[in-house]
Amino acid sequence: MCGIVGYVGRPGAPGAAAGGGAAVALEGLRRLEYRGYDSAGIAVVSEGAVAVRKRAGKLANLVELLDADPLPAAHTAIGHTRWATHGGPTDANAHPHVDGTGRVAVIHNGIVENFAALRAELRESGVEFTSETDTEVVAHLLGAQLERTGDLTEAMRAVCLRLEGAFTLLAVHADAPGVIVGARRNSPLVVGLGEGANYLGSDVAAFIAHTREALELGQDQVVTITPDAVDVVGFDGAPAQGRRFHVDWDASAAEKGGFPSFMAKEIHDQPQAIADTLLGRTDAGGRLQLDEMKISEAELRAVDKIVVIACGTAAYAGQVAKYAIEHWCRIPVEVELAHEFRYRDPVVSERTLVVAISQSGETMDTIMAVRHAREQGAKVLAICNTNGSTIPRESDAALYTHAGPEIAVASTKAFLAQITACYLLGLYLAQLRGNKFADEVADVLAQLHEVPGQVRQVLDGLEQVREIARYMADTRSVLFLGRHVGYPVAMEGALKLKELAYIHAEGFAAGELKHGPIALVEPGQPVFVVVPSPRGRDSLHSKVVSNIQEVRARGARTLVIAEQGDTEVEPYADVVIRIPRTSTLLSPLLAVVPLQVFACELATAKGLDVDQPRNLAKSVTVE
Ligand code: AGP
């Protein structure tokens, strides 16, 4: 989720910036800081050359560099804030990236899925890389195309046809002052339409200070902007149209993509978070590859136990993954709260794989548990959303989620991305250890690739849930029941309601109800029940329907999450919330979404700050 800014202006024109391109780019990057980033940079075209300044860390570091070594005056500039995916947050990995001549500069948001093959091809041709990024591959490909065509637009089109994955690209060329070329596939790009100046941005926040007239680019389109013209073509070269719109949002709303909160925006970012986490995980033959893991195949084959360590929502992701990994790999999986694991004498050995799940990578409880595990001789794999953070740095290997920066304190898109990454790990182990044939792995991967669309379907049908949440704004206690993979979903649903709406909420394993918690049920008690697919393991569904009857018989108000077509739940449900059909093991990725939206909407109805709930921090960096 990098931040992208582009500016071209006619000197002295009404819309042109007084401070020149670098100042406009820097100001745009400041408006994109909310997106979270770990490095930043700017490139300008001036006097027949491209000049670049870039630094790891916050914008202040870039400003310090610009003060010491200013960019030349220019009216063509591109700026970038990077959220590291391929390669840590370093000066060298910061964008913009240039080709070997230094005469074309590129910035990028997204993931080039086939960058490894392209990198190898370029190396073969003698290219020497200066960074670990997928973006630098694009810079060299553009440079090579420019030698052939001399035209930046044509060069961009030709390069885009070779790229796979999700990308927004901006490029400038020393021989083309006053021109920026952009391209997008599966990643946003908008044009800001000014007078004597035009802008580009990953979202309107980049240029809303200068113009509210915008043009949204469509899939597989290339745009060429000059101070007085905007021209759009498809990757195939045919003329194309973007979607013209007027930006009604104020600057604050622009940062949230028009949503009322980062929490709401990030819930709706979940399809993209899952899709991006799945990107680049298979080789040309379709076999799963997790080459960033850096634990040898021999060591992974020898693993005889997996221990997941995490806190809060991340721990619930681990609990969901337990069911899948044990089923696919036949390896025992324990899920431990990191702060508990830290203080006991766990039975681990060099054949234990400890999986540390963390969005921030800075949770002190989990850091201390990682250190404890390594002291006990275990191999540690981090599943993390923040490249270069402490937990992956102190682990033996890392598997990164690509959910993008999660701004809201309560975790949503990171949760789904963590489950997705855990499933990739489980499938990889099953493939490596021979528990699953390649076609079986491919089948599950195909189902996973359908999940973003299914989550989108769930999100598009939740007005019922929002109405219920507003109606229940005064409720003081809600119970959540689930069985099998539905149990950690129930726990996560309860946690969301606690941390967003400050309501007593408790998640239970549905089978545990009769062992005590059912005493809590009194007439009118709201109870959410996460129902497994009736097409799954037969006992699961019928048992949970019995649990619904048990609480309904005692006057509970039952709100049931069930797959489309499951009619058996209807006689016992006051409310049925439908999710698309999917396999039992993948259903948590869908079933949790209504619970996230319920908690967010109820908290909003109570007038609470859903992005920064009381008493909470985004990353708990103390034990
Ligand atoms: C999630 O909504 C909470 N904010 C919290 O439980 C969080 O998941 C936990 O603190 C772990 O954080 P981490 O993933 O950054 O390690």
Helix (H, G, I), strand (E, B) or coil at 173: strand
| Residue 572 falls inside a structural domain | yes
pLDDT in tens, 95-125: 999 999 999 999 999 889 899 899 999 999 9
Looking from the CA of residue 366, the nearest atom of ligand 1 is 16
End-of-domain residue from the set 434, 454, 474: 454
Based on the fold, state whether residues 352 and 382 are members of the same structural domain: yes
pLDDT above 70 covers what percent of the chain? 98
Based on the fold, state whether residues 449 and 503 are members of the same structural domain: no
pLDDT band at 31 (very low <50, low <70, confident <90, very high): confident
Identify the residue whose C-alpha is closest to ligand 1 atom 9. Answer: 312
Phi, psi of 222, rounded to the nearest 5 degrees: -120, 135
Q: Which of 427, 442, 444 is nearest to 582 (CA)?
A: 444
pLDDT at 129 over 90: yes
| Residue 55 falls inside a structural domain | yes
Residue from 266, 313, 358, 596 to probe ligand 1 pocket by mutation (most atoms less than 8 Å from CB): 313
Mean pLDDT of 226-232: 97
Instruction: Provide the pLDDT for residue 84.
Output: 84
| Residue 543 falls inside a structural domain | yes
Tell me which DSSP letter residue 514 carries: G
Give, for 463, the enclosing helix (H) or strand (E).
helix 463-471
Q: How far is the CA of 200 from the centre of ligand 1 (A)?
A: 34
Mean pLDDT of 55-70: 96
pLDDT band at 56 (very low <50, low <70, confident <90, very high): very high
Identify the residue whose C-alpha is closest to ligand 1 atom 7. Answer: 312
| Residue 149 falls inside a structural domain | yes
Based on the fold, state whether residues 448 and 534 are members of the same structural domain: no
Based on the fold, state whether residues 54 and 165 are members of the same structural domain: yes
- Sheet architecture: strand order including 39-46: 49-56, 39-46, 76-82, 3-9, 197-201, 190-193, 213-216, 243-246
| Residue 103 falls inside a structural domain | yes
User: Mean pLDDT in the chain?
Assistant: 93
Residue 194 belongs to domain with CATH number? 3.60.20.10
Q: Please tell me the distance from the alpha carbon of residue 315 to that of residue 411, in angstroms, as a whole number.
A: 12
Angle between helices 413-432 and 270-278 (to 10 degrees): 20
pLDDT at 72 over 70: yes
| Residue 256 falls inside a structural domain | no
Torsion of CA 434, 438, 439, 441, to 10 degrees: 80
pLDDT in tens, 581-603: 999 999 999 999 999 999 999 99
Identify the residue whose C-alpha is closest to ligand 1 atom 5. Answer: 312
Q: What are the distances in angstroms from CA 546 to CA 53, 350, 383, 508, 543?
A: 64, 44, 37, 15, 5
- DSSP readout, 89-154? S-TTTSSPEE-TTS-EEEEEEEEETTHHHHHHHHHHTT---SSS-SHHHHHHHHHHHHHHH--HHH
Q: How far is the CA of 596 from the centre of ligand 1 (A)?
A: 15
Based on the fold, state whether residues 29 and 107 are members of the same structural domain: yes
pLDDT at 18 over 70: no
Based on the fold, state whether residues 240 and 266 are members of the same structural domain: no
pTM: 0.83
266-303 as b/e, with b when 16 or more CB fall inside 10 Å?
bbbbbbbbbbbbbbbbbeeeeebbbeebebeeeebeeb
**Could you list the residue range(s) of the whole structural domain that residue 369 is in?**
262-454
- Sheet architecture: strand order including 305-310: 333-337, 305-310, 352-358, 379-384, 397-400
Based on the fold, state whether residues 181 and 309 are members of the same structural domain: no
Based on the fold, state whether residues 512 and 426 are members of the same structural domain: no
State the sign of the Cα–Cα–Cα–Cα dihedral 474, 476, 482, 488: positive
Q: Please tell me the distance from the alpha carbon of residue 550 to that of residue 544, in angstroms, as a whole number.
A: 10
Mean pLDDT of 221-231: 97
Residues 6+ apart with CB under 8 A from 494: 478, 479, 480, 505, 506, 507
Instruction: Provide the pLDDT for residue 5.
Output: 97
Based on the fold, state whether residues 345 and 471 are members of the same structural domain: no
Which one is predicted more confidently, 566 or 88?
A: 566
Based on the fold, state whether residues 48 and 172 are members of the same structural domain: yes
In the structure, which protein residues have their CB atom closer than 6 angstroms to any atom of ligand 1? 311-314, 358-360, 363, 366, 409-411, 499, 619-620
End-of-domain residue from the set 404, 430, 454: 454
Instruction: Provide the pLDDT for residue 315.
Output: 98
| Residue 86 falls inside a structural domain | yes
Q: How far is the CA of 102 from the centre of ligand 1 (A)?
A: 42
Looking from the CA of residue 412, the nearest atom of ligand 1 is 2
pLDDT at 549 over 90: yes
Instruction: Provide the pLDDT for residue 19.
Output: 62
Based on the fold, state whether residues 442 and 532 are members of the same structural domain: no
Burial group, residue 565, by CB count within 10 angstroms (0-12, 13-18, 19+): exposed
Based on the fold, state whether residues 429 and 474 are members of the same structural domain: no
Helix (H, G, I), strand (E, B) or coil at 499: helix
Instruction: Provide the pLDDT for residue 560.
Output: 98
Q: How far is the CA of 338 from the centre of ligand 1 (A)?
A: 12
Residue 292 belongs to domain with CATH number? 3.40.50.10490
Give, for 230, the enclosing helix (H) or strand (E).
strand 229-234
pLDDT in tens, 279-327: 988 887 778 888 677 789 999 999 999 999 999 999 999 999 999 999 9
Structure tokens at 475: 């409720």
| Residue 413 falls inside a structural domain | yes
Say which range, 181-185, 219-223, 618-622, has the weakest mean pLDDT: 618-622
Domain count, the chain: 3
pLDDT at 537 over 80: no
Instruction: Provide the pLDDT for residue 388.
Output: 74
pLDDT band at 83 (very low <50, low <70, confident <90, very high): confident
Burial group, residue 451, by CB count within 10 angstroms (0-12, 13-18, 19+): buried
End-of-domain residue from the set 425, 454, 483: 454
